[in-house]
Chain A
Amino acid sequence: MTGTYRIALAGNPNTGKSTLFNLLTGLKQHTGNWAGKTVDMKAGYFSHKHKEYEIIDLPGTYSLYSNSIDEEVARNYIVFEKPDITIVVLDATSLERNLNLALQVLEMTDRVIIAINLMDEADKRGIVIHEQILMKRLGVPVIKISSRNRTGIEMLLDTIDRFVSGAITTEPLKVVYDAVTEEKIVSLAEKAERIFQGELPARWIALRLLDGDERLMAEIAKRFAGRVEDGVRTGQGAVAERSF
């Protein structure tokens, strides 16, 4: 026993996230308020191969950057609470739209499993998904499931098990930006790394700074009170910098 592992479920609305949640947890769940916000996130529990898991059903969102409360809650959980695994649930019938969120999560953490849900619906519509190719390109496990028909769930559970056991190493696709942006990212990320020392994803922080995400900066200032000011005072701070 190594204690309870924490899993977060992220995904667009209507991707069957909650169906998967209910399937995994059965009735062992409760609804709770998190992070002082009025958005509900369900937490549930299950065990598999003698390991205990707590699973959080994040609000369904198309993005993590548009600054609605739902998106902030989901983003804050992934970045600040750092679950052992974030499972991004995608709708097999609408991958183009859904992959937006997947790429955003891959920029935040490397502890990701992609679950392509609604495979029964995709099969019906003649949509073929090459999960091996996706896996190679995205650099994280990709599992096809149908939580409605309960297919692929064993495979997902085994992948979770191997993931937390350290048997799986991921190398998430790194979105490369244009040369000018990359230069700024590198210099800001260095500063962010010095301040947060691995506690927050430095490259992601750099990207959010360049995007002018003031809500996130306010959240960080709140959670890391003192640290950010120290960093700024010693000339290492990146927080006040803007690219435009």
Chain B
Amino acid sequence: MEMVKIIFLSEGIEGDKIRISKLHLEGVMQRRLLDLGFVPGRVVEVVRKSPLGDPIAFRVSQTCIALRKEESRKIEGELMEP
């Protein structure tokens, strides 16, 4: 029995792989994140978390991109099995 666990990117821990399902963002910021590769359906990996959890570095289409919590807590995805 597999349960799909939906989390926000901000809740990921190092090594987590998350398949993005939804961006709760608007306008230019939404566009910018899509352009950077945070696209529904794509898997991103949590590479590093700073001590207070902000910002967080993600690997997305072969590039490392750090997001502020402000944005990462608005991106939702499915936590992949390790």
Contacts and interface: CB of A to CB of B under 8 A. Distances in A.
A189 to B, nearest CB: 21
Interface string A100-135: 100000000000000000000000000000000000
Contact of B61 (A66, A96, A212): A96
A65 B31 CA distance: 7
Main secondary structure of the interface of A (DSSP, over half): loop
Nearest to B63: A97
Interface string B18-32: 000000000110011
Interface of A: 62-63, 65-67, 94, 96-97, 100, 211-212
Main secondary structure of the interface of B (DSSP, over half): helix
A94 B27 contact: no
Contact of B62 (A65, A66, A97, A212): A97
Given A94-B61, A97-B61, A211-B31, 7 more contacts: A63-B31, A63-B35, A66-B32, A94-B63, A97-B37, A100-B37, A212-B27
Nearest to B32: A66
Nearest to B27: A212
A65 B28 CA distance: 8
B32 to A, nearest CB: 5
Contacts of A94: 61-63
Nearest to B29: A66
B28 A96 contact: no
